Amino acid sequence: MTETNPSGWRPRTSPDRLRASRAKSIDRSSPDGRRVGPQPSHTSVRQDSRAFREKQRSRVGNRPSNRPIGRPNPPTGRRVTRAAAPSKRERSRKQSSRSERPWYIDVPIIIAIALIATIAFQAVVGRVYVIPSESMEPTLHGCTDCNNDRIFVNKMVYDFKDPKLGDVVVFKGPESWDNAYTTSRSSNRIVRGFQNLGSYIGLVAPDENDLVKRVIATGGQTVECLPGDNGVKVNGKDIDNSYIMNPPSRSVDTKGGSIACGGEYFGPVKVPEDHLWVMGDNRTNSRDSRFHMGDQYQGTVPVDNVIGRVDARILPFNRIGTVKHPQIQS
């Protein structure tokens, strides 16, 4: 008859059952009866880890992987390789391709920068002028409806010294010289604006009475050309006239002048201090100081009116060259 336990209490494991469970974990083949279980051997662990690393290397093509040992390879089945870093040239090429602007934006910017630089240069360093007339032939070529010389005028040279005899200079004509001057600007505002812009880069003559002549005498000197003289004299001495137009472009009335003087006789005139006596190289076809001797300066030009010295012809191409400034009197 089986006894029931109404309270649900179960008796503890008997000593016989406990001994039987312990016996299962004992290696009966071991003579000393020591427990043989899952105690790991340190040597076998090292061997297993070395084998695992060798296996990992073989999977990635005998190259060490960036992943820690023990992590499986990606389940793609493909060979794992490190992506090559882009070179410096490739990086700069990618950056430049991102920063490139369309040409229709770059071109106007370049043109604007060039115009600003040109205007700034001509305002401070030097300016290009167009020779409008024949008064400086043969040194400078100019005429109506022809390919006139473009000259470069050095505006800085007289910041360090004064004009000397023989210099070819550009100057602003005094008020008494403006009688024969007429503007060449258009009455149309747009056209006039383009003309003014063209004058800064030497394509159009400036809208002012700027003239180009050669310095013949400076402040304190006396200039003259009288009957019997071989040419213009400064302080009673002849000057070098090898640069003038010869033969003259116009005839001379010998009753009141001579070919040697380049027209009518004049002088003597003493040049005021800080003033210049100027004449054109084409003596018979130049309205210079001789034609304005009745004004307050006796035909001379204030040094302050001088814009600069003509240093070179830059156009046309067959006329490119420097402009000589000879020592016309020793």
Give catalytic residues, as residue numbers. Answer: 135, 213
Q: Which DSSP string corresponds to 55-78?
A: HHHHHTTSS--SSPTTPPPPTT-S
* Amino acid letter for position 236: G
Query: Rounded to whole angstroms, how far apart are CA atoms 77 and 74?
Result: 7
3-state secondary structure of 159: helix
Task: Specify the DSSP element, H or E, that contains 45.
Answer: helix 42-59
Residues 271 and 220 sit within 8 Å (Cβ to Cβ): yes
Expressed in percent and rounded to 5, the helix, strand and coil fractions of the chain are: 30, 20, 55
Specify the residue for token string 């790991």: 40
Two tokens, residue 316: 């046309």
**Short-list 218, 195, 219, 217, CA closest to 207:** 195
Tokens matching residue 224:
């003259």
What CA–CA distance (Å, rounded) separates 140 from 8? 134
What DSSP letter does each residue of 252-276 carry, written as one string?
--TTTEETTTTEE-EEEEEPPTTEE
Residue 105: Cβ within 10 Å count: 9
